[in-house]
Chains A and B, each alone.
Chain A
Amino acid sequence: MTPAGTLLCATDLRKAYGPTKALDGAEFSIHPGEVVAVMGPSGSGKSTLLHCLAGIVTPDSGTITYAGRELSAMNDSERSALRRGEFGFVFQFGQLVPELTCVENVALPLRLAGVRRKEAERTALHWMSELEVADLGSKRPGEVSGGQGQRVAVARALVTQPRVIFADEPTGALDSLNGELVMQLLTEAARSANAAVVLVTHETRVAAYSDREIVVRDGKSRDMERIV
């Protein structure tokens, strides 16, 4: 059963790659506006958990419910509509399109959804200014620093006003100072938009920006709030 007020919830998730059990009964839940860190050693299954929650990977068993709808009951096109419209993604490396300018990159999800260029770029600039990179609009990704590029990527994840942001090691390629800035701006922007953030990280200083943490070990999850 989904706990009251939960936006995204997973119960008893199992996923194996050949003989390797990546997830072995993992649980997860998140509320709107909440930031939950997913931690654990390399190979513990935390990225698989994120991919399942985001509908990128289909678990072998278990249920994932988003806003009252079961992900397994959706077909491929419904799931990809969900990923485009309701979810935002930030990865370790910004994965910006090098041929486009920064503002075109941020506007891209809106353009793909059929929004006209002018309006899409106006919205993009709003989010770029939230992330303090509005002045980089006309530059291409190759012309900006790693930290700036990652903030452009966060603006792109926020531009469709998603209800859940999946961030997989968003500061992994950054130095401490830039990592902190990305985390501060990402969590502030998400909280003010009441978006939930699923934050996969192995850095505890990054996890300290969350409201609570889940630790994944050997494919099983532990809610650290409940053990104290």
Chain B
Amino acid sequence: MSIGHTLLGLLEAGPRHGYDLKRAFDEKFGHDRPLAYGQVYSTMSRLLKNGLVEVDGIESGGGPDRKRYAITDAGITDVETWLSQPEKPEPYLHSTLYTKVVLALLTGRGAAELLDVQRAEHLRLMRILTQRKRKGDLADQLVCDHALFHLEADLRWLELTAARLGQLAQEVRR
């Protein structure tokens, strides 16, 4: 995720102090990974240098960075461009799981067991996310759903691979 663009987008609603920005980010997007304050500070310095934000005011005393930042016109254009461009879809072509399955077959270890263990681990995480979704608000539900759909896709791959293990074993041992 582009932290710079996200902070810029948050600034579009109105000027904020660095600490307010961090709080808004954590509340909306941080979930399990809150932003380090140092990262906010270094990101804002970069945005300032590039003319995408400007200092709107400085409060005396208090914390380490009492600067209030405002977005510039160039900053608004930058957010606009970022939002209008599609994200590159993940190709998922270098899978550790695939490598493990092939190596298990090559070395005569139990590939089916490996897939089963992985399946149980995936479903364990899916249960945790499903529980969290039940207790969470809509934002939490959407974030968990995104993760759940990806895990589900992995599980479908695990099932399909399990069904094709015999064929795969013949091919890799050739």
Contacts and interface: CB of A to CB of B under 8 A. Distances in A.
Contact of B121 (A205, A208, A213, A228): A228
B120 A227 contact: yes
Q: How would you classify the secondary structure of chain B's contact residues: helix, strand, loop or mixed?
A: helix
A222 B134 contact: no
A185 to B, nearest CB: 11
B43 interface: no
B127 A208 contact: yes
Contact of A224 (B123, B126, B151, B152): B123
Q: How large is the interface on B (under 10, 10 to 19, 20 to 34, 35 or more residues)?
A: 20 to 34
B130 interface: yes
B123 A227 contact: no
B117 A208 contact: no
A93 interface: no
Contacts of B148: 205, 208
B134 A184 contact: yes
Given A184-B134, A204-B152, A224 B119 contact: yes
B159 A41 contact: yes
A208 B120 contact: no
Interface string B97-128: 00000000000000001001101111110110
Contact of A208 (B116, B129, B156, B163): B129
B152 A205 contact: yes
A213 B130 CA distance: 15
B167 to A, nearest CB: 15
Contacts of A222: 116
Interface in A174-227: 184, 203-205, 207-211, 213, 215, 222, 224-225, 227
Contacts of A211: 127
Given A208-B126, A208-B129, A228 B163 contact: no
Q: How large is the interface on A (under 10, 10 to 19, 20 to 34, 35 or more residues)?
A: 10 to 19
Contacts of B126: 204-205, 207-208
Contacts of B123: 204, 207-208, 213, 224
Given A204-B126, A208-B127, A208-B130, A227 B152 contact: no
B120 A228 contact: yes
Contacts of A225: 120
A209 B129 CA distance: 10
B76 interface: no
B165 to A, nearest CB: 12
A20 to B, nearest CB: 18
Given A205-B148, A207-B123, A227 B113 contact: yes
Contacts of B124: 228
Contacts of A209: 130
Q: Which 3 A-B pairs have the closest CB atoms?
A: A208-B126, A208-B130, A224-B120
Interface of A: 41, 184, 203-205, 207-211, 213, 215, 222, 224-225, 227-228
20 contacts: A41-B159, A203-B152, A204-B151, A204-B155, A205-B126, A205-B149, A207-B126, A208-B123, A208-B129, A208-B148, A213-B120, A213-B123, A215-B116, A222-B116, A224-B116, A225-B120, A227-B116, A228-B117, A228-B120, A228-B121
